[in-house]
Amino acid sequence: MLQDFISAKKSLFESGAHTELRMQRNRERSVMLLAGDIVENTRSDAAGVSARVYRGGRCGFSSIAECSSEAAERVLRAAAENASFMHAHVPGKKPMLPSLPSGCFVCEAINDPAQRVYTEYVRALDSYLVAHCPKLTSRRIYATEDSMEKLLVVSDGTDAHTVLPRSYVYLFLTAETDAGVPVEVYRAFGGERTFDLNFTDPSALYPEIDKLYEQLMQKREGVYADAGLRTVILGGELTGMLAHEAVGHTVEADMVLSGSVAASRLHKQVASELVSLTDFAHTAFGERCPLPVFVDDEGTVARDAVIIENGILTGYMNNRESALHFGVEPCGNARAWSFSDEPLIRMRNTAIHPGKDKLEDMIASVDDGYYLIATNNGQADTTGEFMFGITMGYEIKKGMLGRALLDTTISGVAFEMLKTVDMVGDRIAWESSGFCGKKQPMPVGVGGPALRCKVMIGGR
Amino acid sequence: MKKLELLAQSVLDAAKEAGAQSALCTVEETETHEFNLQSGEFTLLRTLFDRSVQLSVLMEGRKGTITVNSFEDEAIRKAVADCVASAQSAEPDEAWEFDSEPRDETFTEGSLTCDTEKLFTRTKELADDIAERHPKIMVDELITEHKAIRSVCKTSGGVTSRSAHGFYNVSLMYSAHDGEKASSFYYGDTKLAALDKPFIDCALIEWELSSIERQLEPTALDGKFNGTVVLAPTALFEIVLSTVNWNFIGEDALLDGTSIWKDKLGQQVADERLSLSFAPRAEDVVVGARISEEGYRVENFDVIRDGKLLGYALTQYGANKIGGVRAGCTGWHPYPHIPAGDKSLEEIVAGIERGVLVMRFSGGEPSSNGDFSGVAKNSFLIENGKIMNALCETMISGSVTDMLNNVRAISSNVLQDGECCLPFIAFDGVTVSGK
């Protein structure tokens, strides 16, 4: 755990300004096995201290790659000087940030498994692939863990010592069609907690590997989607991506202030009445979220940010400054990736709420369309126009699943597409293996149920 | 610099003492000064002082790598021990290798000192220029920075490579707005050696701002057609070059056998007017890479010349694995250079009956076979030789292998952003679909 060099420095905080002083350590562990060979076997640790001084709407920030009392004092001085530079050149007149309740949040220490824990696990999976998946032409296994440990003291708000570990195993499988064309499938397993806790027994993943291999064999016989506007059932993984990329980014307050599509839609109907969406802090539907956040990096105690209720846009995600601008309470969305990063408005666990429909009934209701279940990336625009890569899906013909699809993409405009939702599945699926990119990377959770809706699909 | 060199040597010595037969150590210090504007307003000045020690060791063919950002003795001792333990957990693979040809070199490039006042002045000037010349552009985010990096890389085989370089970077993200009308957002990065001219006059920034300002009222394409797609340099990189670099000539694709170009060396893979090199040492590149992760000197490297495939993006490890030749430069953005053509963008557009000009692409990761599909962002419809309305909700799909052989024209206009030199290229036979 980080040794506390910073709590005693509160006495050095400048009066009349909001100050954050943060010590942080990020660690990453990874092993990549490619065709049986370890091609990546790395560990990294980065730790340091940073300070941010906010005065009148201008910020000074500084960081040093060192955890010490001297480093803490140095960044406080440098951040204050930078804030002064900004005021001297572009004076800011915004009011002080409203005070928040003070408090202190403390987490528990986490393990740091040895590298052999990773290498032995991927070896076991690789042996299973070799023995049980005869038609593979290529296989890649990537085991990884990243964690953020933060010690935060603020001029007002909640001081905190938090840690967020997560670990995953990614499988990439490739086979060739009869014509010799490569096709691939991919899936990530894992979630919050360190690698040794998430992956105790390789055989627990064997049934999942069998399912993935079966999908690959189906994809070998796959067909191109018929391009155009189609009725689809989005699986939960895709709904989660939709919640994050297509809606979530447009309702981040900094994006709103830059003129995102959500700027003019507050309190308006932006989705079907069946759709509700929340950025959950740490608990959703009575269970711990995939990547819980308890206190953000501005010292705000985290709580849920309700975004869409029964189709109506009800709010945005804020930091303390934008919350003041919009006249609302902040919910703890200010997060920084590394010690040298300033907090930005970020999502935490963004999900569309489950509804009442059974997946089987949803598929049976489609005469001619697609069931889309896996994605490898997604992007969205401030206009709400989104694109997701689809790596696994099936035709639906007369209410029955048909042939698998070759890779394709779907697109749409979020607040138009969400109005076409007319069935919502009753089970939520969460995913948390990726990074959200917005100046800095950030681990986030995304979730949702199956949705029946209309989207554009690419193809031939 | 001497301090970094001594530290690198002491880390190598510790690794050898711990049993490493071969080792490579890079020690680096970075200082960053960065201005941020959000929604057109100055918000933040950051100064960052970072450092790192990266050690890779080979122990009987087993490789481990560790990176830490502390120079403290205890942290270094632990890092060496962890690195050795990591290597011991791996399987032996005799293909691993670091450069063992002794050489001693020093690179000094750019200014190592940030002119903070001048950087502020240029940053404000860009914000003011945009507000004056392009009043409908809303700058979502403007980040300007100066980085000074001092590093030393040493290998146990006798390589000592010192580098001290400084550069400026301008990162701009924006969209156009007029009431409730809005364009898609656009972004770009430009690396500069000096602050000698207004930022708006660098790279294609002015052309891009003007184009986005004309995208306030995009309309969805009606139906589907097979036509010509003109890819602006950014979209060219996103669709074609990333597929070539990763799926066709990339080391992973060659090692796992999924590259469809694995047997194409020396063969025609593209139109004979097309050449592609990875050129970190090109004159237009601002502070390109100088040393590889295996300790080899980074050099310019021809990938395709006159349509023929000349090389794969292999490290020494990859080359040893498949019996190939190490490339001069590898990486996710390996300073791509494509020679300009002889027609202006306007002349190329004038010859197109029906097509799309695409500035940015939002697509899924291309398949191993080169198939791609995605949204044509910041795009214009082309009809009867003229640029028409902006498009939204319009997808393009096709095959990169087919496109490389269906080149209609290469522009004389190029983007030079300090890392690449890329023209606009028009490709025939791409599927364009709307609602």
ipTM for the complex? 0.93
Shared domain check, B206 and B268: no
Give pLDDT tens digits for A311-343.
999 999 999 999 999 999 999 999 999 999 999
**CA B230 centroid distance within chain:** 21
Domain residue limits at B405: 219-435
Is A376's CB within 8 Å of B364's CB? yes
Residues contacting residue B234 through CB under 8 Å, at least 6 positions apart:
B188, B359, B360, B415
Q: Which residues of A touch B64 (CB under 8 A)?
A: 41-43, 115
**CA A266 centroid distance within chain:** 24
Q: Quick one: closest CA in B to A262, which residue?
A: B180
Give pLDDT tens digits for B320-349.
999 999 999 998 889 999 999 999 999 999
Is B69's CB within 8 Å of A65's CB? yes
Q: Which residues of A touch B79 (CB under 8 A)?
A: 45
**CB-based burial, B390-406: b 16+ in 10 Å, e otherwise:** bbbbbbbbbbbbebbbb
Shared domain check, B291 and B161: no
Question: Which of A375-379, A433-437, B208-212 is the least confident region?
Answer: A375-379
Q: Does A62 touch chain B (CB under 8 A)?
A: yes
Q: Does A116 touch chain B (CB under 8 A)?
A: yes
pLDDT, averaged across chain B: 95
pLDDT, averaged across chain A: 95
Pairs of residues, one from chain A and one from chain B, whose beta carbons lie less than 8 Å apart: 247
Per-position DSSP letters for B273-299, written without gaps between them: T--EEE-TTSTT-SS---B-TTSPBP-
Taking the C-alpha atoms of B221, B226, B227 and B233 in order, what is their torsion angle to the nearest 10 degrees?
80
Q: Does A135 touch chain B (CB under 8 A)?
A: no
Shared domain check, B191 and B274: no
Shared domain check, A419 and A275: yes
Q: Does B83 touch chain A (CB under 8 A)?
A: yes
Give pLDDT tens digits for B367-421.
888 988 888 999 999 999 999 999 998 989 899 999 999 999 999 999 999 999 9
Is A83's CB within 8 Å of B45's CB? yes
Domain residue limits at A87: 7-220
**CB-based burial, A234-258: b 16+ in 10 Å, e otherwise:** bbbbbbbbbbbbbbbbbbbbbbbbb
The answer to whether A153 and A9 are in contact (CB under 8 A) is: yes
* Residue A25 belongs to a domain: yes
Per-residue confidence (pLDDT) for residue A107, from 0 to 100: 83
Within 13 Å, how many C-alpha atoms sit on residue B377's CB side?
29
Shared domain check, B270 and B204: no
Shared domain check, A280 and A213: no
* pTM for the structure as a whole: 0.94
- Neighbour tally for B128: CB within 10 Å: 12
Residues contacting residue B150 through CB under 8 Å, at least 6 positions apart:
B1, B4, B28, B29, B30, B112, B163, B164
End position of a domain, from candidates A176, A199, A220: A220
The answer to whether B396 and B198 are in contact (CB under 8 A) is: no
End position of a domain, from candidates A220, A255, A278: A220
- Domain harbouring B72, CATH code: 3.30.2290.10
Tell me the residue ranges of DSSP E strands in A155-276: 158-176, 182-192, 228-234
Minimum distance, in Å, between the CA of residue B45 and any CA atom of chain A: 5
CA distance A290 to A167: 11
Q: How confident is the model at residue B104 (pLDDT cuts 50, 70, 90)?
A: very high
Tell me the residue ranges of DSSP E strands in A225-298: 228-234, 277-280, 283-284, 287-288
Segment B57-77 mean pLDDT: 95
3-class DSSP assignment, residue B41: strand
End position of a domain, from candidates B191, B213, B235: B213
* Residue A2 belongs to a domain: no
Specify the number of domains making up chain A. Answer: 2
End position of a domain, from candidates A188, A220, A252: A220
